[in-house]
Amino acid sequence: MTEQKRVLLGILLATGVGWLLLAWLPLRKLGPAGASADGAPFGRAALGGEVYAANGCASCHTQVVRPPNLGSDIARGWGARRTLPSDYREEHVIPLGVLRLGPDLSDVGERRTDPRWYYRFLYDPRVIYPGTVMPSYRYLFARVPLLGTPLPDSLPLSGRDAPRPGFQVVPGPEARALVAYLLSLKRVPPGETGKTP
């Protein structure tokens, strides 16, 4: 065998092994990426994922439910089962997070379904959880004139948070997108293991 044939065979072998390890084995393990009912976020939720990333939420929150032998995530109700690689197969950017100062958010859309709760929490987290280290995201909200009855999504604020008379606080476009993203975080496909309590 000539030197040129050995080099060509080596290149083909290296390419074939690389293809097996990087393409064929993951495809075999995860299956083909088909459309699913609860796939990657789209529309407003996809924009909310960008707001999530831009505000550094992944610095304090993870999106990975650990197995029972590595933590108490399932016992805390953060997910019905451990996170699998296939849970992310349709997503392009996955802010998994590396540090947990706050709860895991991988299944938060199942645990909390009321958008108004999220709006109130984002505006001032200490009203709901006194002593939390989570910062307030008031800049995602707008103070608008109150013309007649309050808007359906205006925040029920009182005390020092209450706006001046004749005004109301409503979520801005980024707050709406962020809440849509959080509500879309439902990692466990319906019927697989059921909802967590």
pLDDT, tens digit, 9 for 90 and up, residues 40-88: 566 788 888 889 889 988 888 888 888 888 878 788 877 778 877 777 7
**Residue span of the structural domain in which 175 resides:** 44-184
Residue 18 in domain = no
- The list of the chain residues with pLDDT below 70 reads 1, 24, 26-42, 89-93, 188-197
Q: Any idea what the CATH number is for the domain that residue 100 is in?
A: 1.10.760.10
Task: Look at the chain and report how many structural domains it folds into.
Answer: 1
Residue 32 in domain = no
Residue 161 in domain = yes
Residue 95 in domain = yes
**DSSP output for the chain:** --HHHHHHHHHHHHHHHHHIIIIIHHHHHH------TT-S--THHHHHHHHHHHTTGGGT----PPPGGG-SHHHHTS-SS---GGGGTT-S-----S--SS---TTHHHH---HHHHHHHHH-HHHHSTT--PPP-GGGEEEEE--SSPPTT-----GGGPPPTTEEEEE-HHHHHHHHHHHH---SPTTSS----
Residue 59 in domain = yes
